């Protein structure tokens, strides 16, 4: 694990991974969008509005996935002081916030025609809104201190404490009465969704994962360079 | 586009989206905007910071006193350095 703790080594790995991640994203995005918008059938109850699912569900999965990985990275940062873990968490938070925003906004656009309301204060929607605020809080806390390591530490603690929200979101549709439908893909008894809809959904999920990988690498590169600039500046004034 | 008739599929999923076009298209547009915005911002800051770091490092190596070496060694090094600076620019 510490093999890639060295930024130079990480940058080499990142440069090797980046084009592959970008290619995978592009292929899956084109295929997923084509299948989702044109080739998949309308839902027998929801009609064409079901196509919102192909952005809404993968975005919501990513919102949870990014937070989970961020919490794991924060744990590694706090326990093993892994130098790239803080960097990862800082780079991932705005992306996770973006996916959460997409899930909330597209969910609202789906809720209006299907439920008759843009927003309801039910368990699923409210807990995802809390997740959005956790991401924003993480971003604010990271940048709230003059000394970056203190900000990173505070944000890592927030990420770990806030992780309690992730299972709440996942199981909110089972634990409480909610307008939101229960899981139809990630179920113990297998997906209950037709393959013609499952395929575009999975392709979009892979595309979003690849997109996240590209973005997080770019943002980590930016942060490593920013730290080098700070170090060089400090070295110049000191020396 | 000859030989490729997209008309039937386009008609099936036309802009109207069976009356839900006003909800479906904005959903895709919002996703594209948020993800595109994140990519643009990440690309710009990565390029800017990496260029700044390279410029600062080049400035420092130029300012540093040249070490005492044999002429052949220092020539090879300065060549390699100027090559690196070209790459960074």
pLDDT, tens only, A15-25: 999 999 999 99
- ipTM of the complex as predicted: 0.89
If one counts every other C-beta atom within 10 angstroms of the C-beta of residue A223, the result is 21
pLDDT tens readout for residues A37-66: 888 888 888 888 889 999 999 999 999 999
Q: Quick one: which of A219, A215, A230 has its CA closest to A87?
A: A219
pLDDT category at B51 given cuts 50, 70, 90 is very high
Asked, for residue A1, whether it belongs to a domain, the answer is: no
Contacts of B9 in chain A (CB under 8 A): 38-39
Contacts of B17 in chain A (CB under 8 A): 48-49, 51
With 50 as the cut, is the pLDDT of residue A69 above it?
yes
Asked, for residue A190, whether it belongs to a domain, the answer is: no
Contacts of A113 in chain B (CB under 8 A): 20, 23
Domain span at A115: 18-185+203-238
Asked, for residue A2, whether it belongs to a domain, the answer is: no
Provide the pLDDT for residue A233: 85
CATH of the domain at A33: 1.20.120
pLDDT category at B86 given cuts 50, 70, 90 is low
pTM > 0.90: no
Taking residues A95-123, what's their average pLDDT? 94
pLDDT category at B69 given cuts 50, 70, 90 is low
The answer to whether the beta carbons of residues A24 and A210 sit under 8 Å apart is yes
- Of A151-155, A170-174, A216-220, B4-8, minimum mean pLDDT range: B4-8
Q: Contact B27/A101, CB-based, under 8 Å? A: no
The answer to whether the beta carbons of residues A180 and A44 sit under 8 Å apart is no
Provide the pLDDT for residue B2: 44
Higher pLDDT, B71 or B17: B17
How far is the alpha carbon of A51 from chain B, nearest alpha carbon, in Å?
A: 7
With 50 as the cut, is the pLDDT of residue B89 above it?
no
The domain spans of chain B are 23-88
With 90 as the cut, is the pLDDT of residue A165 above it?
yes
pLDDT category at B1 given cuts 50, 70, 90 is very low
Q: Is the dihedral of CA A121, A124, A134, A54 positive or negative?
A: negative
Q: Quick one: which of A51, A191, A183, A169 has its CA closest to A113?
A: A51
Provide the pLDDT for residue B71: 58
Distance of alpha carbon A70 from alpha carbon A65, whole angstroms: 8
Place of tokens 């036309």: B14
Asked, for residue A64, whether it belongs to a domain, the answer is: yes
| Number of domains within chain A | 1
With 50 as the cut, is the pLDDT of residue B73 above it?
yes
**Strand, coil or helix: what is A232?**
helix
Asked, for residue A151, whether it belongs to a domain, the answer is: yes
Residue of B nearest to A11 (CA): B50
């Amino acid at each position: 694990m510490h093999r890639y703790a060295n930024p130079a080594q990480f940058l080499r790995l990142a440069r090797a991974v980046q084009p592959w991640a970008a290619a995978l994203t592009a292929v899956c995005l084109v295929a997923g969008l084509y299948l989702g918008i044109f080739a998949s059938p309308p839902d027998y109850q929801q009609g064409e509005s079901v196509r919102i699912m192909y952005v809404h569900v993968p975005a919501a999965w990513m919102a949870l996935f990014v937070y989970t990985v961020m919490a794991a990275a924060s744990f590694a940062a706090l326990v093993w002081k892994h130098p790239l873990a803080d960097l990862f968490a800082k780079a991932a938070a705005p992306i996770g916030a973006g996916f959460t925003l997409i899930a909330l906004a597209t969910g609202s656009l789906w809720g209006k025609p299907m439920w008759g309301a843009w927003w309801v204060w039910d368990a699923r929607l409210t807990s995802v809104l809390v997740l959005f605020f956790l991401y924003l809080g993480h971003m604010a806390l990271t940048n709230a201190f003059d000394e970056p390591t203190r900000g990173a530490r505070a944000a890592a603690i927030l990420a770990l404490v806030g992780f309690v929200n992730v299972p709440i979101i996942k199981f909110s549709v089972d634990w409480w009465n909610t307008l939101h439908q229960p899981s139809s893909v990630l179920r113990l008894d297998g997906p209950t969704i037709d393959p013609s809809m499952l395929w575009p959904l999975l392709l979009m999920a892979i595309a979003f994962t690849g997109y996240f990988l590209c973005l997080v690498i770019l943002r980590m590169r930016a942060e490593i360079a920013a730290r080098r600039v700070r170090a060089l500046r400090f070295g110049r004034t000191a020396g | 586009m000859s030989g490729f008739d997209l008309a039937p599929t386009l008609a099936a999923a036309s802009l109207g989206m069976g009356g839900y076009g006003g909800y479906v298209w904005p959903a895709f547009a919002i996703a594209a905007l948020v993800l595109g915005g994140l990519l643009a911002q990440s690309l710009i800051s990565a390029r800017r910071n990496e260029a700044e770091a390279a410029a600062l490092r080049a400035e420092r190596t130029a300012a540093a006193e040249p070490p005492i070496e044999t002429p052949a060694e220092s020539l090879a090094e300065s060549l390699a350095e100027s090559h690196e600076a070209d790459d960074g620019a």
